Amino acid sequence: MPKINIVIDGHSLQAEEGTYILQAAKEVGIEIPTLCYYPHMVPYAACRICAVEARNERGWTKVVTACNYPVWEGLHVHTNTPRVLNARRMNLELLLSQSKPVPVLQKLADDLGITEPRWGYGTDTCIKCGLCVRICDEVVGAHALAFGNRGVDREITTPFHLESEDCILCGACARYCPTGHIKMTDIEGRILHSELLLGPNAAITIPFRQAVPNVPRIHTNQCIHMKTGGCMLCAKVCPKECIHFDDQDEFEEFDVGAVIVATGFQDFDPTPMLQFGYGKYPNVISAIEFEQMNSAGSPTGGKIVMENGKEPRSIAILHCIGSRDQNYHKYCSRVCCMYALKFAHLVTEKTSAEIYQLYIDMRSFGKGYEEFYQRILDEGVHVIRGKGAEVVPTKHKRADEGDLLVRCEDTLISKFREIPVDMVILCTALEARKDASDIARKLNISMGADGWFIEAHPKLAPVSTTTDGVFLAGVCQGAKDIPDTVAQAGAAAAQAMKLMSKGEIMMDAAYAVIREEFCSGCKICNDLCPYTAISYDELKKISTVNSALCKACGTCVAACPSGAIVARHFTDEQIYAQIEGILA
């Protein structure tokens, strides 16, 4: 791009051909006020607030709008001559005669020294800057908004003043409206807790603060570009050009020497436990949902509120939902007691709500855990020994105490209790992932009845599996908290490192081999091998043994109808010889 020499307020600078005064001025730090300008759209030049005076050497002078006046060689720009300031002031006063002094206009007025507009203030909040129309048109591509009428009756409207079918509810118009004239109304009238992770309609978010990798993700079902083919603003603003809309999922193959399985767990879905009313009563939420709401990045800004936006007066935290339950999971999820206590602590910090903990046994087994439990007790949390039995709507007479009624048996005082609360948090079980069995099959590792992977030995090989080179880390092996997970992961990593640092593995001398000349290719051995060490060679039409995988168990040797497989160092001749040796 050829460079062009221009002068702005006495600053000489070089600008690229085709740039507008506004951009050139910005580069030398000269701010020109704007109202209807937005960098990623064609300049509209309707507000005329960015008026500047253009001059040339020969004394020609003209007031132009900085946002769309292209620079040319020898252009002199003056951004604050009396003529320009007067024009800005007059135009803003004219605008204010119709508009409320919304913050953006008030700030401009203050900057321009307007204390009392000559024609007073109007009542409108729409300043007809057209940002919404243009964003919908040029960026979003939904074309759901337009200008209606003409002249003084100009207005922003949807076609025929009706709810537009072309609107994709992206919220861009409201986001870019400088005066707050356009607002998004939640049609359902409530915030859905399950969507709290997202901004109301943001299509591009970082899934959560601590996400790894910590990069934004595009939600294809909300992305404007995916809907209309327009927008692509994120790609335009990304300085590193990281956003590619046409990227597809890819499968990649790696050669590796060791595998660490850290597939984690899934949250137990309490919906089937009808007694707790999850999914039925909006203020019955799961622990993870509470955690999300409590995060500072949530739509509630970390405030603890009910679905109607009010702060709850009382909260019941129900332990062991799906854990230690004969009908669901018999095991203890190990983490719930402590996070439930943490919740109680957070709620007392943020609100003045009464808190009820309903537990079976308080399992505060770790280092410092018991002390934390004591602290919670000191904070005045009601800790009731007795599992929550059911959650029902509060009956008429106690309705003012809370909308929900938690029923339980307080086993310490042997009494049946009904506690009215505003919100119920269910401490749901950790459970094995639904697809854990796929992993188990792929890696040839064993899985218990509860779905957790089984280690090679509970005491002596807690991170190894029955398959060499495959190690376990974290909750996929069984419910555990973060310290335990980190410790186990460290151990698994060390095991893997051990293999890798050697660069080679020592193999057992004993393994099975197939004598090619005898193999008929019947494939019986293929399915029998518990270590998936035998595969069929389509070319030679025979089976072959992967000696690295073979554990020399001998199953195939015994099963081969042709006697083609022999276990090295355990051949028939050797066995017979041994027998003969013993007998001799």
Partner 1 sequence: MSISKLTSPDDLLRLKEQLVKERDNGRTILSVCGGTGCLACGCKGVVSALKAALKESRLEEEVELKITGCPGFCERGPLVVVYPEGIFYQKVKPADAKLIVDQTIKGGHVVNKLIYKDPLTKQGIIHEKDIPFYRKQMRLLLGMNNFLDPTSIHDFIVLGGYRSMAKALSAMTAEAIVEEIKKSGLRGRGGGGFLTGKKWASCRKSKGDPKYVICNADEGDPGAFMDRALLEGNPHLVIEGMVIGAYAIGCEEGFVYVRNEYPLAVKNLMIAIDQARDYGLLGKNILGTGFDFDLQVSRGGGAFVCGESTALMASLEGKIGEPRAKYIHTVDAGLWEKPSTLNNVETWANVPLIIDKGANWYSQIGTAGSKGTKIFALTGKVNNTGLVEVPMGITLREILYDIGGGVPGKKAFKAVQTGGPSGGTLIVETSEPDIHESLVAHGDVREDEEALNLLDLPVDFDELTKAGSMMGSGGMIVMDQDSCMVDVARYFINFLQEESCGKCIPCREGLRTMLQILNRICEGKGEMKDIDTLEEMSQVMIDTSLCQLGGSAPNPVLSTLRYFRQEYLAHIVDKRCPAGTCKELVSHTIDETCTGCHVCLEPCPTDAITGKLKELHVIDQSKCIQCGACYQVCRFDSIQRVKRGAGEAVQVKAKALWKPPQKKTAQQTAAVA
Residues that bind partner 1 (CB under 8 A): 43-49, 51, 63-65, 68-70, 83, 86-87, 90-91, 94-95, 97-98, 118-119, 128, 130, 146-147, 149-154
Task: Output 4 or 95, the one with its CB closest to partner 1.
Answer: 95
Task: Output 149 or 326, the one with its CB closest to partner 1.
Answer: 149
Task: Output 150 or 310, the one with its CB closest to partner 1.
Answer: 150
Which CA distances in Å does 266 have to 90, 210, 335, 486? Answer: 63, 18, 14, 18
Task: Output 96 or 233, the one with its CB closest to partner 1.
Answer: 96
Task: State both tokens at 462.
Answer: 């807690």
Task: Output 69 or 373, the one with its CB closest to partner 1.
Answer: 69
Task: Output 22 or 404, the one with its CB closest to partner 1.
Answer: 22
Task: Output 20 or 343, the one with its CB closest to partner 1.
Answer: 20
Q: Measured from the CB of residue 19, what is the shortest distance to partner 1 in angstroms?
A: 13
Q: Measured from the CB of residue 180, what is the shortest distance to partner 1 in angstroms?
A: 19
Q: Measured from the CB of residue 278, what is the shortest distance to partner 1 in angstroms?
A: 52
Question: 3-state SS string over 66-88?
Answer: CCCCECCCCEEEECCCHHHHHHH
DSSP string, 117-144: -TT---SB------HHHHIIIIII----
Q: Measured from the CB of residue 288, what is the shortest distance to partner 1 in angstroms?
A: 49
- Give the dihedral of Cα atoms 134, 135, 140, 144; nearest 10 deg: -60
Distance CA 187, CA 132 (A): 20
Q: Measured from the CB of residue 31, what is the shortest distance to partner 1 in angstroms?
A: 19
Phi and psi, residue 335, nearest 5°: -100, -20
Task: Output 96 or 196, the one with its CB closest to partner 1.
Answer: 96
Task: State both tokens at 455.
Answer: 């280690």
Distance CA 108, CA 265 (A): 55
Q: Measured from the CB of residue 87, what is the shortest distance to partner 1 in angstroms?
A: 5
Q: Measured from the CB of residue 109, what is the shortest distance to partner 1 in angstroms?
A: 14
Q: Measured from the CB of residue 83, what is the shortest distance to partner 1 in angstroms?
A: 7
Contacts of 52 (CB under 8 A, 6+ apart): 21, 32, 63, 64, 65, 66, 69, 77, 78, 79, 84
Q: Measured from the CB of residue 181, what is the shortest distance to partner 1 in angstroms?
A: 16
Q: Measured from the CB of residue 36, what is the shortest distance to partner 1 in angstroms?
A: 9
Distance CA 404, CA 417 (A): 13
Q: Measured from the CB of residue 10, what is the shortest distance to partner 1 in angstroms?
A: 22
Q: Read off the DSSP letter of residue 201.
A: S
Are 281 and 391 within 8 A, CB to CB? yes
Distance CA 577, CA 542 (A): 30
Q: Measured from the CB of residue 199, what is the shortest distance to partner 1 in angstroms?
A: 32
Task: Say whether 147 sits in a helix, a strand or coil.
Answer: strand
Phi and psi, residue 271, nearest 5°: -55, -45
- State which amino acid sits at residue 566: V
Pick from 573, 571, 566: nearest CA to 513:
566
Q: How many residues are listed for the chain in this entry? A: 584
Task: Output 82 or 189, the one with its CB closest to partner 1.
Answer: 82
Task: State both tokens at 467.
Answer: 């398959």
Task: Output 43 or 469, the one with its CB closest to partner 1.
Answer: 43
Question: 3-state SS string over 334-393?
Answer: CCHHHHHHHHHHHHHHHCCCEEEEEECCCCCCCCCHHHHHHHHHHCCCEEEECCEEEEEE
Task: Output 90 or 102, the one with its CB closest to partner 1.
Answer: 90
Task: Output 139 or 430, the one with its CB closest to partner 1.
Answer: 139
Task: State both tokens at 278.
Answer: 């999850």
